[in-house]
Amino acid sequence: MALAKRPALIAPFVTRPSEKIIDRKALGLAPATDAASGLYLLRRAEGDGDKTVVLQGSEVGYAFVEETLPLLKKEGIDLNVYYVASAELFDLLPPSKQEEIFPKARAQEAMGITGFTLPTMYRWICSDRGRLMTLHAFQKGHYLGSGQAHKVLGEAGLDGESQFKAIIRYVKERR
């Protein structure tokens, strides 16, 4: 069935033995199966939510869940957090379903965090302020070095602590 679609869809699984398996339910995160829609609400704000953050890329998503989310909870910051698993899968959904999952109003208020380039976030982050606040791999104006993932994320300013600081700035400036 997946190969009959255009584009053809294949879901490879890569094991990462050194990474801890996250207990999504305990953290209040959506089930992994929600990724099949391409973009999904990873964590729904418990109240009205202080704002919206869109994550794109497993490296920034993992850093967010492992490091940033506990810091935000400690500070009482309540966000709607979306995760972009595949823009192509999201494109296969009818427009009404896309709007149900990710309302245009969210794109107007969101900031983003991506391991890719800033333009890959333009679809999800539509305000000038949100784009200015968005963290991306080339925000420091150079290509990143290679090495251990946490070191590269730190160099890029995409590690959990950097994400936390950027989100705090975003929330405080938007209140």
For 77-94, what is each residue's pLDDT tens digit? 999 999 999 999 999 999
Indicate whether 42 belongs to any domain: yes
Indicate whether 51 belongs to any domain: yes
Indicate whether 17 belongs to any domain: no
Indicate whether 6 belongs to any domain: no
Q: How far is CA 119 from CA 1, 7, 56, in A?
A: 32, 22, 12
Largest CA-CA distance found in the chain, in angstroms, rounded: 47
| Number of structural domains the chain divides into | 1
CATH at residue 119: 3.40.50.920
Helix (H, G, I), strand (E, B) or coil at 19: coil
pLDDT at 174: 62
Place of tokens 């890959």: 120
If phi > 0 it is left, if psi is from -120 to 50 it is alpha, else beta; for residue 49 that is left
pLDDT tens profile 153-175: 877 789 999 999 999 999 998 65
- Whether the ω angle into residue 31 lies within 30 degrees of 0, i.e. cis, is no
Please tell me the pTM assigned to this model. 0.86
Element holding 64 (H helix, E strand): none
Q: What is the DSSP string of 81-143?
A: EEEES-HHHHHTS-HHHHHHHS-HHHHHH-EEEESS-GGGGTTT--SHHHHHH-B-TTTTSS-
61, 114 Cβ separation under 8 angstroms: no
Indicate whether 147 belongs to any domain: yes
Indicate whether 146 belongs to any domain: yes
pLDDT at 8: 77
Phi, psi of 93 (to 5 degrees): -80, 150
Indicate whether 7 belongs to any domain: no
Instruction: Say how many C-beta atoms besides its own lie within 10 A of residue 141's C-beta.
Output: 5
Domain, as residue range, for 148: 24-174
pLDDT tens profile 100-146: 999 999 999 999 999 999 999 999 999 999 999 999 998 877 776 77
Q: Shortest CA distance to 170 belongs to which of 75, 28, 92, 66?
A: 75
Query: Is pLDDT at 1 greater than 60 in this prediction?
Result: no
Indicate whether 15 belongs to any domain: no
pLDDT tens profile 13-72: 666 667 788 889 999 999 999 999 999 999 999 887 779 999 999 999 999 999 999 999
Q: How far apart are CA 121 and CA 136, in angstroms?
A: 9
